[in-house]
Structure 1
Amino acid sequence: MAIGSGLGAQIGIAAESGYGTFVAPAKFIEPTKESLQLKKTTAQSAGIAAGRLVPLSSRRVVTQRQAAGSLDMEVTNKAMGLLLQTLMGTTVTPVQQAATAAYLQTHILADTAGKSLTIQKGVPLTTGTVTDKTFLGCKIISAEFSCEVGGMLVVTFEIDAKDCDETQTLAVATYPTMAPFNFVQMSVKTGSYGTETALGGVRKMSVKIERPMAVERFYAGAEGLKAEPISNDQVKITGSIETDYVATTLDDLHTSDGATSLVWDFTGPIIAASHNERFTIKVPAIRIDDAPPVIDGFDVIKPTYSFTGLFDGTNPTAIEYMSTDIAL
């Protein structure tokens, strides 16, 4: 019997073979918070009938079902591959590095057609009985990564789903030994693509990747359930870099509206040979939107530079993930 609170909760994920097709979770993640829930649209019959003061309960119908919510979690050195693949779109097979236990995943930005997840959450009653809520056809429509002084690298995944099924058998959760990436491991680099150099004075960093999709594809003959969302706008990449004013590198780029490549890297312990645990976001071109430094009293000047991520015409936006996972 589980603990009758959030301490007894679990979330498992699995890549689907087709949009909305249940696949039993075999991988379990450790969110800090989640908000996935069923959303239903109802219609109420309201015909005039002499003496009837309240609409009939029997004539209320559910006309649409879908689900949505978010997952907040730390970015860990294992078990992130499926989520990254669903966000970025490229089908990824981890590549073994030489003959070591290190495997590199390279998630290149691509269309996300055909990439969906089954997400099953176990929600404990106070009695300790864990109830099943299985979300089918889960598409990641945005992810925001952030890390600040003294903190962990964290991410919020926004999710759109086809339906919530409460009839599945709750999978038995198992968890690998893993650790979060954190500020101690962080570096931020800018410059020409492939030869970026470290920025000094960075205190906080965030990058958000948004995947706009047509999520209201409800058609006749589908029992009130949606068809797979389709990309319907260009990907939006934004972020911010909070610094102490130790150099004018970003300030000058704001003034000139010049472009620079951005590499946001977390390097963890060595897995084997020269291969470290690693999580890296690469954006081939960013331009600084605001704001130049301002003097706000006696303290050290602390500008926050907001930026937009763009395509340099050659190199893709990508997330690289080095771990000991031999499969997503």
Structure 2
Amino acid sequence: MAIGSGLGAQLGVAAESSYGTFTASTRFTEFTKQSLALKKTTAQSAGIAAGRLLPLSSRRVVTRQEAAGSVDMEVANKGMGLWVQGLMGTTVTPVQQGATTAYLQTHTLASVAGKSLTIQMGVPLTTGTVTDKTFLGCRITSGEFACGVGEMLTASYEIDAKTCDESQTLAAASYSNMSPFHFGQMAVKTGTFGAETALDGIRKVSCKIERPQDVERFYAGQAGLKKEPIENDQVKISGNIETDYVATTLDDLHTSDGATSLVWEFVGPLIASTFFETFRITLPAIKLDEGPPTVDGFGVVKPTFNYTGLFDGTNQPLIEIISTDTTV
């Protein structure tokens, strides 16, 4: 019997073989907040009947249903692969590094067609009984990462889902020992792609990757459920870099509207040989939209530069993970 509060909640995730097909959870993610919930559309008869003062209960129908919400988590040194794969689109097989227990996942930006998840929530009643909320056909429509001074690296994923199934058996959650990436492990680099150099004075960074999709594919013959969303716009990448004004590197890029490669990485403890736990976002081309330094008092000047991620014509954005995970 679990605790009858959020302390007894659980979240499991698995990649689906096809959109909306239940797959039992293979990984259990420690999360900080989730808002996934069933959304239903109803229609109520307005038929006139002599003497009837209220609409008739039996003449209300559910015409369609779907689910949506978000999942927030700390980015840990294990178990992040399925989430990142669902965001970035590439089918990834971790590659062993040397003859060690370190494995590299390279998630390059690609189409998200066919990348759906089953997300199973365990939601506790006050009695301690944990109810099943299984969300089928989950597509990640955006992912936002952020970390600042004294903080852990966090991720927030926006989810669109086909439906919520409450008839599945709740999987027994199990967790490996995980530790979060954090500000003390963070570095930010800019420059030519593949030869970026570290910036000083960086206080906080965020990066949001949006995957626009048509999530309104409701057709006759589908029992009021949607068909798999289809990408319907270009990927949007944006974020901001909060700094102390220790150098003009970013300011000059803003003035010239020049492009630079951005590497935002977290390097943790040694796994083996020369391979360390790593979470790295590489954007081969960004341009700074706004945020030139201004003086608003006696304190240190602290510009915040907003950026847009673009295609450099050759290299795609990617997220790399080095961990002991042998599978995504």
Same fold per superposition (TM over 0.5) = yes
Report deviation, 1:206: 0.2
Report deviation, 1:53: 1.4
Q: For the residues of structure 2 that align with 1:16 and 1:83, how far apart are their CA atoms?
A: 13
Task: Output one character per residue of 1:259-279: Cα deviation in whole Å (capped at 9) or x when no partner.
Answer: 000000100001000000000
1:82 alignment partner, SS class: helix
Alignment-derived partner of residue 133 in structure 1: 133
Task: Output one character per residue of 1:23-43: Cα deviation in whole Å (capped at 9) or x when no partner.
Answer: 010210000000000000000
TM-score (norm 2): 1.00
Alignment-derived partner of residue 238 in structure 2: 238
Q: For the residues of structure 2 that align with 1:19 and 1:263, how far apart are their CA atoms?
A: 33
Task: Read off the aligned partner of 2:166 and give its amino acid letter.
Answer: E
Q: For the residues of structure 1 that align with 2:4 and 2:47, how far apart are their CA atoms?
A: 45
Q: For the residues of structure 1 that align with 2:73 and 2:299, how far apart are their CA atoms?
A: 33
Report deviation, 1:326: 0.2
- Write the mapping of 1:33-72 to structure 2, written as runs, cut at 5 A: 33-72=33-72
Alignment-derived partner of residue 79 in structure 1: 79
Q: For the residues of structure 2 that align with 1:27 and 1:150, how far apart are their CA atoms?
A: 28
Q: For the residues of structure 1 that align with 2:223 and 2:105, how far apart are their CA atoms?
A: 38
Q: For the residues of structure 2 that align with 1:8 and 1:291, how far apart are their CA atoms?
A: 44
Task: Tell me how large the CA RMSD over aligned residues is.
Answer: 0.4
Alignment-derived partner of residue 189 in structure 2: 189
Report deviation, 1:48: 1.4
Matched, 1:124 2:124: yes
Task: Output one character per residue of 1:248-299: Cα deviation in whole Å (capped at 9) or x when no partner.
Answer: 0000000000000000010000100000000000000000000100101111
Task: Output one character per residue of 1:180-208: Cα deviation in whole Å (capped at 9) or x when no partner.
Answer: 00000000000000000001000000000
Report deviation, 1:59: 0.4
Alignment-derived partner of residue 316 in structure 1: 316
Q: For the residues of structure 2 that align with 1:104 and 1:17, how far apart are their CA atoms?
A: 23
- Write the mapping of 1:134-213 to structure 2, written as runs, cut at 5 A: 134-213=134-213
Report deviation, 1:49: 1.3
1:31 alignment partner, SS class: coil
Alignment-derived partner of residue 93 in structure 2: 93
2:113 alignment partner, SS class: coil
Q: For the residues of structure 1 that align with 2:84 and 2:308, how far apart are their CA atoms?
A: 21
1:134 alignment partner, SS class: strand
- In the alignment of these two chains, the number of paired residues is 328
Matched, 1:296 2:296: yes
Task: Read off the aligned partner of 1:111 and give its amino acid letter.
Answer: S
Matched, 1:214 2:186: no
Q: For the residues of structure 2 that align with 1:315 and 1:299, how far apart are their CA atoms?
A: 40
Report deviation, 1:73: 0.3
Task: Output one character per residue of 1:77-136: Cα deviation in whole Å (capped at 9) or x when no partner.
Answer: 000001110100000000000100000000000000000000000000011000000000
Q: Structure 2: any 5+ residue segments left out of the alignment?
A: none
Alignment-derived partner of residue 306 in structure 1: 306
Q: For the residues of structure 2 that align with 1:26 and 1:266, how far apart are their CA atoms?
A: 26
Report deviation, 1:245: 0.2
Alignment-derived partner of residue 267 in structure 1: 267
Task: Read off the aligned partner of 2:284 and give its amino acid letter.
Answer: P
Q: For the residues of structure 2 that align with 1:50 and 1:322, how far apart are their CA atoms?
A: 71
TM-score (norm 1): 1.00
Q: For the residues of structure 2 that align with 1:19 and 1:248, how far apart are their CA atoms?
A: 48
1:151 alignment partner, SS class: coil
Matched, 1:278 2:271: no
Report deviation, 1:50: 1.4
1:179 alignment partner, SS class: coil
Report deviation, 1:72: 0.5
2:218 alignment partner, SS class: coil
